[in-house]
Amino acid sequence: MKNTKSTLLKLENINKIYSGAQPVHALRDINLTISKGEFLAIVGPSGSGKSTMMNVLGLLDAPTSGNLYYLGQETSKWSGRQKAEFRNREIGFIFQAHLLLPEFTAVENVLMPSYISRKLNKTREDRAKELLISVGLGDKFKSKPRELSGGQNQRVAIARALMNNPSVVFADEPTGALDRVTGLEIYNLFRSINSQEGMTFIIVTHERDFAQRADRVIEIVDGSIVRDEKQ
């Protein structure tokens, strides 16, 4: 199991301002430390800044000011290519819309991070199949997204996020498009991976009953952290 005590992410005075006729201050003076192995939920009302927070944490968007450290490395001077390579190697993403490629099979979709990193080989193909088996899709290797249910497609997306054994998985409203039973199955799968692998999970959700099951909850209102508590 990975070390669950060392620091994975550290944010110092992070601000994010979207310019325009009326500038939007999406994040305000965010200070936050996240350790390896945490299972953390980010909650808040619509427009509070929680998705912006995930985009900044996931290196999909740069903060306007402040410092973001990943595994002790300050990221502000990284090039776009360096950020892309780091995301591919260390970060997994799961979105409400699974964003699978419709022309590819389940195995091929799971292998996408390996295509991007140009590390495709028989070992990687075996890992993709093992991941699909682990999420309950051992009989769906050759199925395309249109042949799968919403919950099954989300499971393919989970397997894809785990393909490169990332340090952290970000899930943005991962159960929002699913019925409650399927959503609970997805949540339980996250918890199982977290406990067995020690992988960090950061889940952005408006579903407070799921958030209450996390080990730590961060609440954002108007771009500021108003609550940060362990449960």
Tens digits of per-residue pLDDT, 7-37?
999 999 999 999 888 899 999 999 999 999 9
From the number of C-beta atoms within 10 Å of its C-beta (0-12, 13-18, 19+), residue 196 rates as exposed
Percent of the chain exceeding pLDDT 90 equals 63
Predicted confidence at residue 120, as pLDDT, reads 65
Q: pLDDT digit string (tens) for 64-90?
A: 999 999 999 999 989 999 999 999 889
Q: Which superfamily is assigned to 7-230 in CATH?
A: P-loop containing nucleotide triphosphate hydrolases (3.40.50.300)
Note the pLDDT tens digit of each residue in 123-170.
889 999 999 998 889 999 999 999 999 889 989 999 999 998 899 999
Tell me: pLDDT of 221 over 90. Answer: yes
